[in-house]
């Protein structure tokens, strides 16, 4: 029971931080409109909706804000923290925000519905999805006949099937149950043999409460090293305001390059702008995530590798997230990246 309470605290600190940042965002927006000034006259205002409450994965954004990289690129950026009812895709379509960080699978689903959204920068260059298994299950094949918890997100079953089949097992033999986002307490209590979860979040959490759990990352079991999170805009905005998109991407790339060079500074920038975060949790998560900020073959953060994305598009269909292969040429546009 104590483990469940502690895990709840981890999530609660993120929710509290979200409320504080949301309030700060509104104040910052009002302040920039009221005060004006030369800096605001030069910079173009834009809003970016995060994929989740602020955490270590977003450290490069907050470092870019703190060091003025975005303002230098001509963007006065306001970060929007999502709530339980936030629909980033609807906000983009309505023009209420200019940019959003989307899970790449959500981008594929939006494209299948006919939404005209375009990924312009990878925030992380690796899948974050994984299956976390209790100590007795040393390989995904061993999950045959056992119950695995899933959140209910459309991509969960695809990740599970990919990992089990990639290990030489039969996904049809694995039972599933929807547990929402309670992977860690359910794993600790042994209510499930395994659960789909993020290796950079729940994978780190579970190690604090019990030893011997196994984290099977999807790209190590057959999936391509696709970028899990993508900075996205509507195709219409990119046609009308290419300079704004270029400024945002250039500022964020600088922020993540600086994060890789000095993760301690990035962690402090995040913690100074987001109240209520655990310094230990941020530091541990960021250390694990740093390699994922660069492409698998090396290079600058933010890259959208065409070969990798084509492999992802095939995987997306093979494991049933979408029925029709995503058109990488129209869904991603790397021309806003530095050097493009």
Contact (Cβ atoms closer than 8 angstroms) between residue 276 and residue 81:
no
Please provide residue 219's backbone torsions phi and psi, each rounded to the nearest 5 degrees: -70, -10
Please provide residue 29's backbone torsions phi and psi, each rounded to the nearest 5 degrees: -65, -45
H helix runs in 241-319, sequence order: 242-261, 263-273, 279-289, 306-318
The two three-digit tokens of residue 310, written as one number: 């084509």
pLDDT at 201: 94
* 317/191 Cα distance (integer angstroms): 31
Same fold, 2-126+227-336 and 129-220: yes
Q: Are strands 175-178 and 194-198 parallel, antiparallel or unpaired?
A: unpaired
Structural class in CATH, domain 2-126+227-336: alpha beta
Cα dihedral across residues 266, 268, 270, 272: positive or negative? negative
* 268/74 Cα distance (integer angstroms): 24
| Domains of the chain by residue range | 2-126+227-336, 129-220
* 136/13 Cα distance (integer angstroms): 32
Q: Would you give the DSSP letter of residue 157?
A: H
Question: Alpha-carbon dihedral of residues 17, 19, 25, 30, nearest 10 degrees?
Answer: -140
Query: Which residues are registered as beta bridge partners of 229?
Result: 103
pLDDT at 84: 76
* 339/335 Cα distance (integer angstroms): 8
pLDDT at 19: 42
CATH architecture label of 129-220: 3-Layer(aba) Sandwich (3.40)
Residue 292 exposure: Cα atoms within 13 Å on the Cβ side: 27
pLDDT at 264: 98
Q: Which residues contact 228 (CB under 8 A, 6 or more apart)?
A: 103, 104, 123, 124, 126, 127, 128, 129
Average pLDDT of adjacent 10-residue blocks, the chain of 340 residues: 36 42 37 34 87 96 98 97 88 96 97 95 97 98 97 93 97 96 94 97 93 96 96 98 98 98 98 95 97 91 97 97 96 95
H helix runs in 48-153, sequence order: 59-66, 69-72, 88-94, 104-112
pLDDT at 51: 95
């Amino acid at each position: 029971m104590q483990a469940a309470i502690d895990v709840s605290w981890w999530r609660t600190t993120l929710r509290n931080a979200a409320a504080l940042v949301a309030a700060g965002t509104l104040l910052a927006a009002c302040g920039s409109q009221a005060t004006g000034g030369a800096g605001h006259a030069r910079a173009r205002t834009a809003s970016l909706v995060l994929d989740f409450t602020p955490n270590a994965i977003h450290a490069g954004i907050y470092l870019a804000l703190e060091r003025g990289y975005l303002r230098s690129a001509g963007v006065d950026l306001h970060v929007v923290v999502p709530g339980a009812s936030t629909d980033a895709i609807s906000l983009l379509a309505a023009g209420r925000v200019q940019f959003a960080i989307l899970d790449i699978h959500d981008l594929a689903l939006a494209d299948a519905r006919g939404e005209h959204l375009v990924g312009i920068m990878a925030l992380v260059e690796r899948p974050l999805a994984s299956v976390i298994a209790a100590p007795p299950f040393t390989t995904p094949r061993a999950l045959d006949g056992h119950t695995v918890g899933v959140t209910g997100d459309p991509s969960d079953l695809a990740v599970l099937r990919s990992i089990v089949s990639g290990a030489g097992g039969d996904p049809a033999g694995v039972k599933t149950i929807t547990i929402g986002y309670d992977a860690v307490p359910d794993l600790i209590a042994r209510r499930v043999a395994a659960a789909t979860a993020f290796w950079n979040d729940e994978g780190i959490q579970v190690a604090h409460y019990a030893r011997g759990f196994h984290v099977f990352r999807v790209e190590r079991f057959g999936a391509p090293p696709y970028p899990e999170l993508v900075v996205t805009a509507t195709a219409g905005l990119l046609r009308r305001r290419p300079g704004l998109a270029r400024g945002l991407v250039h500022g964020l790339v600088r922020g993540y390059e600086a994060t890789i060079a000095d993760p301690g500074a990035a962690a402090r920038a995040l913690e100074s702008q987001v109240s209520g975060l655990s310094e230990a949790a941020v530091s541990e998560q960021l250390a694990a995530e740093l390699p994922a900020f660069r492409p698998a073959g090396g290079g600058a953060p933010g890259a959208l590798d065409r070969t990798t994305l084509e492999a992802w598009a095939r995987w997306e269909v093979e494991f049933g997230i979408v029925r029709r292969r995503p058109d990488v040429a129209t869904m991603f546009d790397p021309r806003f990246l530095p050097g493009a």
